[in-house]
């Protein structure tokens, strides 16, 4: 053997060939496959853009079809997510995640309005007086600072208690209104996006802004 057979062997042509299996590009080779693979394998010469997973049909190789994105459904899902988040924070910030507590808040606010208007029943006034005493027993200095008790004998003041209840009710209403505003702005921002990625981005931004604001309010 003098090595002349190796020297005379043809050099495989360079390029790009796709191995087609069941109509799908399964492999890309860069040397001419003729004589290098089993003859039963189907190789087709392709351009630089063809990649694994492309589809071969009737002698034409094309990129796989990407399912159309239902933007309406994506947007509806994002809006629903913001709605759930806003609802959750309404409950958390009001301290009324418990329906019983929510009913108590509403009842106390109603008592407060009637006490200050002079139309409260004796039972309502006694409730306010009892609440003053409860707070005074927990922290007398704080109760005095709020005007809940007055004088040397620290007499409970139902009207002062009514004012506290209404101040709480007003704060809860303001928080609820702010959450409503932020939810509306988030929905509008989501509605302005025209791609699934854009909708996801708008949702992430809105979620972050609401959570950051709510964390600040809760401090």
Residue 70 to residue 137: CA distance in whole angstroms:
61
Confidence at 185, pLDDT banded by 50, 70, 90: very high
User: Does the pLDDT at position 180 exceed 60?
Assistant: yes
pTM recorded for the entire structure: 0.52
Comparing CA positions, the residue from 201, 170, 186, 193 lying closest to residue 87 is 186
Torsion angles phi and psi, residue 207, rounded to 5: -60, -45
Average confidence score pLDDT of the chain: 79
Per the CB < 8 A criterion, the answer to whether 17 and 44 are in contact is yes
User: Does the pLDDT at position 153 exceed 70?
Assistant: no
pLDDT in tens, 56-115: 888 788 888 877 778 888 889 999 999 888 888 877 766 555 666 667 777 777 877 888
Beta strands at 14-21 and 24-31: parallel, antiparallel or unpaired: antiparallel
Of the listed ranges 46-50, 169-173, 215-219, the one predicted with least confidence: 215-219
């Amino acid at each position: 053997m003098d090595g002349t057979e190796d020297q005379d062997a043809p050099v495989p042509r360079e390029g790009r060939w796709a191995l087609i299996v069941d109509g799908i590009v399964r492999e890309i080779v860069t040397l001419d496959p003729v004589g290098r693979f089993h003859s039963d394998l189907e190789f087709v010469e392709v351009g630089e853009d063809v990649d694994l997973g492309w589809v071969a049909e009737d002698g034409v190789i094309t990129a796989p079809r990407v399912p159309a994105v239902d933007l309406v459904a994506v947007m509806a899902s994002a809006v629903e997510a913001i709605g759930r988040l806003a609802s959750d924070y309404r409950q958390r910030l009001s301290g009324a995640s418990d329906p019983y507590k929510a009913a108590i808040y509403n009842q106390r606010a109603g008592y407060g309005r009637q006490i200050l208007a002079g139309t409260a029943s004796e039972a309502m006034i006694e409730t306010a007086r009892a609440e003053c005493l409860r707070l005074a027993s927990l922290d007398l200095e704080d109760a005095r600072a709020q005007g809940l008790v007055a004088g040397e004998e620290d007499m409970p003041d139902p009207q002062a208690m009514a004012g506290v209840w209404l101040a709480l009710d007003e704060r809860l209403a303001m928080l609820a209104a702010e959450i409503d505003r932020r939810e509306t702005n988030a929905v509008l921002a989501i509605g302005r996006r025209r791609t699934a990625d854009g909708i996801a981005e708008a949702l992430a931004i809105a979620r972050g802004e609401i959570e950051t604001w709510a964390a600040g309010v809760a401090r």
